[in-house]
Amino acid sequence: MRTDRPERVLTGLPVSAGIAIGPLHLHDPGVVSVSAYPIPADGIEAERARFRRSVDAALKQIDKLRMRAELLPESAQEAAVALLEVHRQMLSGSRLVRGVDRRIAEQRVNAEAALETELAAIVDSFLAIADPTIRSRVDDVRGAGHRVLRHLTQTAYQSFARVPNGSIILAEELTPADAALMDPAKILGFAAAAGGVEGHTAIMARALHLPAVLGVRGLLDAAAGTGAGATVIVDGVGGQVILDPTPDTLAAYRRRRAALARQRRRLVAIAGLPAVTDDGVAVSLNANIDLPAEVDEARVLGADGVGLLRTEIQFMNREDLPDEDAQYEMLRAVVEGLDDRIVTIRTLDIGGDKRAPALAAHFPEGPNPALGLRAIRYSLKVPRLFETQIAAILRAGAHGSIRILLPMLTSVGEMRQARTIIQRTARRLRRQGVAIADPLPPIGAMIETPAAALGADALAEYSDFFAIGTNDLTMYTLAIDRSDEQVASLYNPFHPAVLRLIVFAVTAARERGIPVSVCGEIAGDPRFTALLLGLGLRELSMSPGSLPRVKERLRAIDAAEAQTMAARAVSAHDAAHVMVLVEHFNAAL
Ligand code: PEP
Ligand code: MG
């Protein structure tokens, strides 16, 4: 709709790619106004009961929403269910519920006031934590609290059911639960003044493939006075929201939207082509994923399986530890979503830059976290934690094909110890009559320390497969901390020392007859494809979005020629020389 209002361009964080153009719908969650009033001593029990009834009603509503979530596209279902599960946990005997109950009794105030005060206290304590993933959970706490508040004050939740088809939602804040209620067949995209890239609202947007921009300062002020139905553009690639665009802007964005759609169709078409080099060498291309919501994308873009499922994300997003059942449900969703494709589940790789708040409380960070208690060291130091995770993994293995991958190994002893624990856990579960992977899944080693690479011949005798983690291997080989800006420019996986370690691992695997893959970032970078094929790799694992471009590249490569180039690269004197060789080879493709 054209108006006389000037075009306004606002900038925020692009959290979900794509361009949406349509009429705007301002989302007003309906402010719930709360007044505080005292409760007489003999009314305390009745007030606590009223609060409990509202919590029960909110829990019932969550169950209903879960059923609704099952109607969502498959890609969004898992994420929506996981979010509702977070709300359910926050309302089941949690600090929030206990705190309100206590405040009603101690402060003798009505339940609404007690809830608001407790909510504010929890939000403050979350915001005081530096970790952005914890801070992003503030939205979940508020969402769960407001759900109960609505029941207490009998204020209806504003759903998107009556929003006109093809709308774009603009709001001050959209909770993950709001995003989970959006039907992508009806809503084209959204933007909000609050929110960040790591929050669950952003994760939901990506799972639903809805273009979204969050953290847009002044969004509602700019939209004020703009009537419902005015045109808005949400650019989830560039992170812009454009209100009342001029005809020229509109035309430019329509062209970009069409180009993105063509690009996507081209990538999906590549997914259907075989992953074979120009001289007929077959390569297995797998996906690295963190969440069940990524399974669909991995399948659509042609992954042969999952080469790396990072499990630590489940531990980083919360204050407590996920129990065996919660871990099992998440893993099962991935395994079932991949049908019979193999899913390589890596055990907890916590520590270093990946922090789990519940564990950090027991083991304070050492002077050098990258060299400290992390990954397999953690699992072996806290066997109960490891056994719980292994039990969840083995149970998930009853639903499809899995492999178990151990991170950050430096010795054969670690592999032996881990294997013993895995076997012991399997025996216990079998005795208890629990269905688990049968036979036991292959157990592999991440080769991501120089010790593992140089000792790969010994490690191969105790491992069923290798996965080379070039991110850490490069960091530890070159002694470069990537998060340290002063030296980050020296981080270079083209360094011949890194290549020689890869050759060591590939040779050891080949001699022992076990599979070997690369699952570091370079596996998804087409500049490295020829080099990796030339070093003898036939299995690569990468983020799903990289699969088509790597496949396109490898189909143009002659593996025999790549081998000749790689042999020269390995004996080069420095990274600069390797880069020249590789660029020259790639330019001729
Ligand atoms: C690696 O180190 O290359 C790797 C794949 O593991 P992460 O990136 O999870 O440390
Ligand atoms: Mg690693």
Could you report the per-residue pLDDT of 385-406, keeping only the tens digit for each? 999 999 999 999 999 999 999 9
User: Which structure tokens are listed for 220?
Assistant: 């509602």
CA atoms of 234 and 163, how far apart (whole Å): 17
Q: Is the dihedral of CA 544, 549, 551, 553 positive or negative?
A: negative
Establish if 83 belongs to a structural domain: yes
CATH of the domain at 18: 3.50.30.10
Per the annotation, the verdict on 87 as an active-site residue is: no
Q: Are strands 187-192 and 212-214 parallel, antiparallel or unpaired?
A: parallel
- 105 and 72: one domain? yes
Alpha helices by DSSP H, 225-284: 247-271
User: Which structure tokens are listed for 144?
Assistant: 């769960």
The pLDDT value recorded for residue 238 is 95
CB 459 within 8 A of CB 508: yes
Establish if 418 belongs to a structural domain: no
- Ligand 1 atom at shortest distance from the alpha carbon of 407: 6
Name the residue of 311, 346, 355, 446 whose CB sits within 8 Å of the most ligand 1 atoms, as the mutation to test its pocket.
Answer: 446
DSSP 574: S
Q: How far is the CA of 472 from the centre of ligand 2 (A)?
A: 5
The secondary structure element, H or E, covering residue 475 is helix 470-478
- 145 and 204: one domain? no
pLDDT score of 19 more than 80: yes
- 177 and 148: one domain? no
| Amino acid identity at 241 | V
Query: Where does the pLDDT of residue 514 fall: very low under 50, low under 70, confident under 90, or very high at 90 and above?
Result: very high
The pLDDT value recorded for residue 433 is 98
Query: Where does the pLDDT of residue 152 fall: very low under 50, low under 70, confident under 90, or very high at 90 and above?
Result: confident
Establish if 335 belongs to a structural domain: no
Please confirm whether the linkage preceding 274 is cis (ω < 30° from 0): no
The pLDDT value recorded for residue 540 is 98
Between 484 and 148, the more confident residue is 148
Candidates 169, 209, 213, 223; CA nearest to 27 is: 169
- 182 and 235: one domain? yes
Q: Environment class of residue 106 by beta-carbon count within 10 Å: exposed (0-12), middle (13-18) or buried (19+)? A: exposed
- DSSP lists the bridge partners of residue 235 as 19, 240
Question: What is the CA angle 415-421-427, rounded to 5?
Answer: 135
CA atoms of 72 and 84, how far apart (whole Å): 14
C-alpha distances out from residue 59 to 55, 114, 281, 329, 352, Å? 6, 19, 55, 20, 37
The reply to whether ligand 1 has any atom less than 6 angstroms from the CB of 469 is: yes
- 179 and 244: one domain? yes
Q: How far is the CA of 421 from the centre of ligand 1 (A)?
A: 23
- 169 and 249: one domain? yes
SS3 content of the chain, % helix, strand, coil (to 5): 50, 15, 35
Could you report the per-residue pLDDT of 278-287, keeping only the tens digit for each? 999 999 999 9
Between 25 and 362, the more confident residue is 25
Could you report the per-residue pLDDT of 227-264, keeping only the tens digit for each? 777 999 999 999 999 999 999 999 999 999 999 999 88
Establish if 220 belongs to a structural domain: yes
- The chain-wide mean pLDDT, for the chain, equals 89
What are the φ/ψ torsions at residue 451 (nearest 5 degrees)? -60, -40
Query: Where does the pLDDT of residue 317 fall: very low under 50, low under 70, confident under 90, or very high at 90 and above?
Result: low
CB 402 within 8 A of CB 345: yes
pLDDT score of 31 more than 60: no
The reply to whether ligand 1 has any atom less than 6 angstroms from the CB of 408 is: no
CATH of the domain at 63: 1.10.274.10
- 216 and 238: one domain? yes
Q: What is the mean pLDDT of residues 117-126?
A: 85
The reply to whether ligand 1 has any atom less than 6 angstroms from the CB of 310 is: yes
- Ligand 1 atom at shortest distance from the alpha carbon of 448: 2
- 195 and 244: one domain? yes
The pLDDT value recorded for residue 255 is 97
Establish if 72 belongs to a structural domain: yes
Last residue of a domain, one of 98, 133, 153: 153
Establish if 88 belongs to a structural domain: yes
Last residue of a domain, one of 233, 256, 279: 256
The pLDDT value recorded for residue 450 is 98
Q: How far is the CA of 578 from the centre of ligand 2 (A)?
A: 23
For residue 221, give every residue at least 6 positions away whose Cβ sits within 8 Å of its Cβ, in sequence order, or none: none
In the chain, % of residues over pLDDT 90: 59
The pLDDT value recorded for residue 358 is 76
Q: How far is the CA of 448 from the centre of ligand 2 (A)?
A: 6
The pLDDT value recorded for residue 198 is 62
Query: Where does the pLDDT of residue 352 fall: very low under 50, low under 70, confident under 90, or very high at 90 and above?
Result: confident
Per the annotation, the verdict on 27 as an active-site residue is: no
Last residue of a domain, one of 203, 225, 256: 256
Lowest mean pLDDT among 357-371, 465-479, 493-507: 357-371
Lowest mean pLDDT among 12-26, 27-41, 364-378: 27-41
- 148 and 169: one domain? no
Return the SS3 of 542.
Answer: strand
Establish if 218 belongs to a structural domain: yes
For residue 71, give every residue at least 6 positions away whose Cβ sits within 8 Å of its Cβ, in sequence order, or none: none
CB 343 within 8 A of CB 305: yes
Q: Environment class of residue 338 by beta-carbon count within 10 Å: exposed (0-12), middle (13-18) or buried (19+)? A: buried
First-to-final CA distance of the chain: 48
DSSP 473: H
- 145 and 165: one domain? no
The domain tally of the chain equals: 2
The reply to whether ligand 1 has any atom less than 6 angstroms from the CB of 471 is: yes
- 45 and 149: one domain? yes
Q: What is the mean pLDDT of residues 541-559?
A: 95
For residue 359, give every residue at least 6 positions away whose Cβ sits within 8 Å of its Cβ, in sequence order, or none: 315, 321, 350, 378, 382, 385
- 149 and 165: one domain? no
Between 566 and 222, the more confident residue is 566
The pLDDT value recorded for residue 488 is 79
Establish if 244 belongs to a structural domain: yes
For residue 51, give every residue at least 6 positions away whose Cβ sits within 8 Å of its Cβ, in sequence order, or none: 100, 101, 104, 111, 114, 115, 148, 152
Q: Are strands 13-16 and 19-27 parallel, antiparallel or unpaired?
A: unpaired
The reply to whether ligand 1 has any atom less than 6 angstroms from the CB of 520 is: yes
Nearest protein CA to atom 1 of ligand 1, as residue: 469
Q: What is the mean pLDDT of residues 430-450?
A: 98
Could you report the per-residue pLDDT of 173-199, keeping only the tens digit for each? 887 767 877 888 899 999 999 887 766
Lowest mean pLDDT among 197-206, 361-370, 516-525, 547-556: 197-206
- Print the domain residue range for 252: 8-29+161-256
Per-residue burial over 400-417, b if 16 or more Cβ lie within 10 Å, else e, is bbbbbbbbbbbebebbeb
